[in-house]
């Protein structure tokens, strides 16, 4: 591993870090029995072609079970393996034991302090699945041991893409948005009670009749946040499948951060100011009744309850991306329950039991102030979030906002087909003095190996003209000097993109005919 770092990442500074040893042997490691390894001398040039390695990309670390045993022998080697692996585009551990699989997962989880996902389909993967934060088991011919030990179970490998890109993305966005909305709706209620303490001498008296406060989380405001957690979709499933890049929103914790938390808390405080003070000073007149008598406390605080429930429900609806029938039901359920409860509860005669709001309906629903405060307070409370959403969509839209707008304006558009067409039409064009190469996400570092310069290259250059697209096989781009180092023999050769290797006495492998392929052949 030290030689690999020196050869491929000489300027990375990995070997200079504290705790990294550069000796070939570790003083604390136990001796391992070396297994003789031999490689076949059969080349694969006739299969993959000479120019197979002339493509952009980064390095990939391939390590087998024997080498991994040395790498996991002590803390210094573990740290070196971790730093080397994070510098590569990918790490492939082949022919490893179940314990080594779990140790690799634990190394990444503890060393990088990240969430880990393990996917397996057999009994050998059980320890790895249990060591990861999230385990996915695949039911197959090797039994159900992996499924029984996993957090999520799928039937085939091809379902994994939808599980991660669609259901995983939806689940994180729903849960994150639901949690911050839970905090928000409780802040609105508590902040209104706190503002009331200024006017009651900090006596800890409740502004609302206690029954309304008791049912705040149980009935009035529970359904809208549950609607977000159950039925919301940031974008449709076909968009998430067509654009895997959107998965970064989940990795970057877009919907559940401390910033989001404090923004929703601030929203709740601002809305409580408008809800309490507008209603309080509206009712602070000579009289709000037609008979000239003064108002009771619970007459105008019940108006606050209605305004607060309306504002919270509509605010949660404003944070919902997809308004389905269930979302409509969830948003308006608490409002309807509050109205029915008020009509019944305020009409209970003292002969049944004594309440402080008996007869409140006679004055509450006949008061113009009640009907004036509902739209006024709700509109002012929702105005900051509405203006922010309008500004975001009009002047600073992100990828999700643009895709939602496209789906709204073109609901029948097939995103996957449109994306393939746009990529073909938007491919870069080269002039006679320039050559085109596919764009690379990460350019490969320049290799310091001595690769023969006369390597033939059969990769054709692409010529674009205004009328047609053609491949020019006469002009070939300058060959890329890409090398591969065999960690077993130390031999350095031209990298072909992949290699075929086997050990002497290995188990012969053959393809097995599955039921699915039989059905496909029979259908043809």
- On the question of pLDDT at 223 being above 50, the answer is yes
Determine the 3-state secondary structure of 280 from DSSP. Answer: helix
Higher local confidence (pLDDT), 441 or 66 = 66
Both 122 and 172 in a single domain? no
From 343, 374, 409, the end of a domain falls on 409
The DSSP element (H or E) to which 463 belongs, if any, is strand 461-464
User: Does the predicted model carry a pTM greater than 0.75?
Assistant: no
Q: Per the domain annotation, does 500 fall within a domain?
A: no
Question: Across the strands, what pairs with 399?
Answer: none
From 111, 128, 145, the end of a domain falls on 128
Q: Per the domain annotation, does 414 fall within a domain?
A: no
* Cβ neighbours of residue 179 closer than 8 Å, sequence gap 6 or more: 256
Rounded (10°) CA dihedral 53, 56, 58, 62: -30
- 10 Å CB burial of residue 53 (0-12, 13-18, 19+) is buried
Both 187 and 246 in a single domain? yes
Both 405 and 268 in a single domain? yes
Q: Per the domain annotation, does 459 fall within a domain?
A: no
Cβ-contact 382, 314 below 8 angstroms: yes
The predicted-structure confidence for 110-150, as pLDDT tens digits, reads as follows 999 999 999 998 899 999 999 999 999 998 777 888 999 99
The DSSP element (H or E) to which 136 belongs, if any, is strand 134-138
Q: What is the chain's mean pLDDT, rounded?
A: 78
Both 174 and 306 in a single domain? yes
Both 171 and 105 in a single domain? no
Read out DSSP for 374-399?
A: HHHHHHHHHHHHHHHHHHHHHHS--H
Both 184 and 114 in a single domain? no
Q: Per the domain annotation, does 472 fall within a domain?
A: no
215-237 as b/e: b if 16+ CB within 10 A: bbeebbbbbbbbbbbebbbbbbe
- On the question of pLDDT at 475 being above 70, the answer is no
Confidence of residue 509 (pLDDT cuts 50, 70, 90): very low
* Cβ neighbours of residue 15 closer than 8 Å, sequence gap 6 or more: 2, 5, 6, 22
DSSP state, 492? E
Question: Across the strands, what pairs with 470?
Answer: 463
Both 196 and 277 in a single domain? yes
Calculate ∠ Cα 144-149-152, nearest 5°: 90
Both 267 and 399 in a single domain? yes
The rounded Cα 348 to chain-centroid distance in angstroms is: 51
Q: Per the domain annotation, does 485 fall within a domain?
A: no
Q: Please count the structural domains in the chain.
A: 2
Both 88 and 209 in a single domain? no
Task: Please give the Cα distance from 359 to 362 (Å, whole number).
Answer: 6
Q: Alpha carbon of 111 to those of 16, 71, 106, 363: distances in Å?
A: 18, 14, 8, 66
Task: Please give the Cα distance from 444 to 459 (Å, whole number).
Answer: 18
- 10 Å CB burial of residue 147 (0-12, 13-18, 19+) is buried
342-362 as b/e: b if 16+ CB within 10 A: beebbeeeeeeeebebbebbe
Both 195 and 63 in a single domain? no
From 409, 428, 456, the end of a domain falls on 409
Q: Give me the phi and psi of 492, to 5 degrees please.
A: -110, 130
Both 121 and 216 in a single domain? no
Q: Per the domain annotation, does 468 fall within a domain?
A: no
Upper half-sphere CA count for residue 115 (Cβ side, 13 Å): 6
- On the question of pLDDT at 30 being above 60, the answer is no
The predicted-structure confidence for 400-417, as pLDDT tens digits, reads as follows 999 999 999 998 888 888
Determine the 3-state secondary structure of 38 from DSSP. Answer: coil
The predicted-structure confidence for 320-377, as pLDDT tens digits, reads as follows 999 999 999 999 999 999 999 999 998 888 878 878 888 888 888 988 889 999 999 9
* Strands of 256-329, DSSP E: none
Q: Per the domain annotation, does 246 fall within a domain?
A: yes
- On the question of pLDDT at 479 being above 70, the answer is no
Question: Across the strands, what pairs with 90?
Answer: 60
* Cβ neighbours of residue 283 closer than 8 Å, sequence gap 6 or more: 295, 299, 300, 303, 369
pLDDT value, residue 468: 38
| Six token digits for residue 459 | 């990769």
The predicted-structure confidence for 290-300, as pLDDT tens digits, reads as follows 666 667 788 88
Sign of the Cα torsion 360, 366, 371, 372 reads negative
Both 68 and 214 in a single domain? no
Q: Per the domain annotation, does 519 fall within a domain?
A: no
Question: 90-94 and 134-138: which strand pairing?
Answer: unpaired
Read out DSSP for 173-192?
A: HHHHHHHHHHHHHHHHHHHH
Determine the 3-state secondary structure of 497 from DSSP. Answer: coil
Of 146-150, 420-424, 496-500, give the range with the top mean pLDDT: 146-150
- On the question of pLDDT at 246 being above 50, the answer is yes
Residue 42: how many CB atoms within 10 A of its CB?
Answer: 10
Q: Give me the phi and psi of 187, to 5 degrees please.
A: -65, -40
* Cβ neighbours of residue 111 closer than 8 Å, sequence gap 6 or more: 78, 79, 82
The mean per-residue pLDDT over the stretch 500-506 comes to 42
Residue 304: how many CB atoms within 10 A of its CB?
Answer: 26
Determine the 3-state secondary structure of 487 from DSSP. Answer: coil
pLDDT value, residue 264: 96
- On the question of pLDDT at 286 being above 80, the answer is no
The predicted-structure confidence for 146-191, as pLDDT tens digits, reads as follows 999 999 999 988 899 999 999 999 999 999 999 999 999 999 999 9
Range of the domain at 195: 167-409
């Amino acid at each position: 591993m030290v030689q690999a770092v020196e050869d491929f990442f000489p300027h990375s500074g990995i070997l200079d870090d504290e705790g990294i040893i550069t000796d070939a042997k570790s003083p604390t490691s136990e001796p391992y029995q070396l297994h003789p390894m031999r490689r076949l001398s059969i080349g694969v040039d006739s299969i993959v072609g000479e120019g197979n390695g002339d493509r952009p990309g980064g390095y990939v670390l391939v390590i087998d079970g024997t080498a991994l045993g040395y790498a996991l022998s002590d803390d210094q080697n573990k740290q070196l393996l971790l730093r080397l692996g994070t510098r590569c585009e990918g790490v492939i551990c082949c022919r490893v034991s179940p314990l080594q699989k779990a140790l690799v997962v634990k190394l990444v989880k503890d060393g990088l302090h990240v969430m880990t996902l393990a996917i397996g389909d057999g009994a050998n993967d059980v320890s790895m699945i249990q060591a990861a934060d999230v385990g996915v088991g695949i039911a197959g011919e090797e039994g159900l041991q992996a499924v029984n030990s996993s957090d999520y179970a799928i039937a085939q490998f091809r379902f994994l893409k939808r599980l991660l890109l669609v259901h995983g993305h939806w689940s994180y966005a729903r849960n994150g948005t639901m949690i911050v909305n839970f905090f928000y709706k409780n802040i609105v209620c508590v902040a209104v009670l706190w503002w009331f303490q200024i006017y009651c001498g900090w006596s800890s008296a409740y502004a609302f009749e206690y029954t309304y406060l008791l049912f705040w989380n149980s009935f009035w405001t529970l359904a809208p946040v549950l609607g977000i957690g159950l039925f919301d979709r940031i974008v449709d499933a076909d968009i998430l499948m067509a654009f895997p890049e959107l998965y970064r929103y989940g990795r970057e914790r877009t919907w559940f951060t401390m910033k989001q938390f404090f923004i929703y808390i601030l929203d709740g405080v601002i809305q409580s100011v408008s809800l309490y003070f507008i209603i309080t000073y509206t009712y602070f007149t000579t009289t709000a009744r037609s008979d000239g008598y003064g108002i009771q406390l619970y007459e105008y605080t019940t108006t606050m309850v209605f305004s607060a429930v309306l504002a919270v429900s509509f605010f949660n609806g404003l944070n919902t991306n997809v308004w389905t029938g269930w979302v409509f039901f969830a948003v308006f359920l608490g409002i309807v329950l509050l109205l029915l409860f008020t009509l019944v509860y305020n009409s209970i005669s003292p002969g049944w039991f004594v309440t402080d709001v008996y007869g409140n309906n006679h004055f509450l629903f006949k008061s113009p102030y009640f009907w004036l405060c509902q739209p006024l307070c709700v509109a002012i409370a929702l105005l900051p979030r509405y203006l922010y959403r309008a500004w975001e969509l009009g002047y600073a839209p992100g990828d999700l906002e643009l895709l939602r707008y496209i789906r709204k304006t073109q609901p029948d558009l097939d995103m996957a087909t449109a994306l393939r067409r746009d990529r073909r039409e938007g491919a870069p064009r080269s002039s006679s003095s320039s050559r085109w190469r596919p764009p690379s996400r990460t350019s490969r570092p320049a290799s310091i190996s001595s690769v023969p310069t006369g390597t033939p290259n059969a990769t054709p250059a692409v010529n674009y003209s205004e009328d047609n697209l053609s491949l020019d096989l006469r002009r070939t781009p300058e060959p890329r000097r890409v090398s591969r180092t065999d960690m077993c023999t130390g031999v350095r050769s031209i990298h072909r993109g992949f290699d075929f290797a086997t050990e002497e006495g290995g188990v012969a492998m053959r393809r097995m005919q599955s039921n699915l392929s039989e059905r496909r052949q029979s259908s043809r």
